[in-house]
Amino acid sequence: MQEPVVITLKKHQLSITDTRKKILNFFLESAGALTHADIEQRTSTEFDRVTIYRTLQTFVEKGIIHVIPSADNAIRYALCKDNCAAGHHHDDHVHFMCDDCGTTYCLDHVSVPKIKLPKGFTANQTDLVVSGVCHKCEA
């Protein structure tokens, strides 16, 4: 039987390389979202910085991971659900960032409400990020 990561990579028509397997595994093992810096730290000198940038970029393009918007200028990535494909992300769930431990969660079961916009405005995508205290950090 093949590894889960290999299946995912094949499904998105990507060649199987050590870098991709390892980085994808980080996401599978991690509860929350990861930043580029997170990945760079965990792999230390194993992979080149540039390779990590390019791998993440490829994963986003192929619909394997998605970008979570934030106010602190640190791009966070998280795994997409199965209904995301290349060029078409469908991540209309709520994201939660813990002010305490910094973990970013995808709240897959909390959906984003429809927003009534002023006349002339057409919505294409809605990003909703809630910050506060997560279930692990509550006193």
Positions that interact with DNA (CB under 7 A): 14-20, 36-37, 46-51, 53-55, 57-58, 73, 75
Q: Does the protein bind a copy of itself through residue 107 (CB under 8 A)?
A: yes
User: What CA–CA distances, in Å, run from 96 to 10, 38, 107, 122?
Assistant: 30, 18, 7, 25
Distance from chain centroid for Cα 57: 11
Pairing of strands 34-35, 65-68: unpaired
Q: Considering only the stretches 6-14, 25-33, 78-86, 130-138, report the one whose residues sit in contact with a copy of itself under the rule CB under 8 A.
A: 130-138
Q: Does the protein bind a copy of itself through residue 50 (CB under 8 A)?
A: no
Q: Scanning the structure block, which residue is given the tokens 């997560």?
A: 134
**Cβ pair 80, 91 in contact under 8 A:** yes
One residue of 18, 41, 44, 135 binding a copy of itself per CB under 8 A:
135
| Between 22 and 90, CB nearer to DNA | 22
| Between 24 and 91, CB nearer to a copy of itself | 91
> Residue 85 and residue 111: Cα distance in Å, rounded?
19
One residue of 73, 82, 92, 103 binding a copy of itself per CB under 8 A:
73
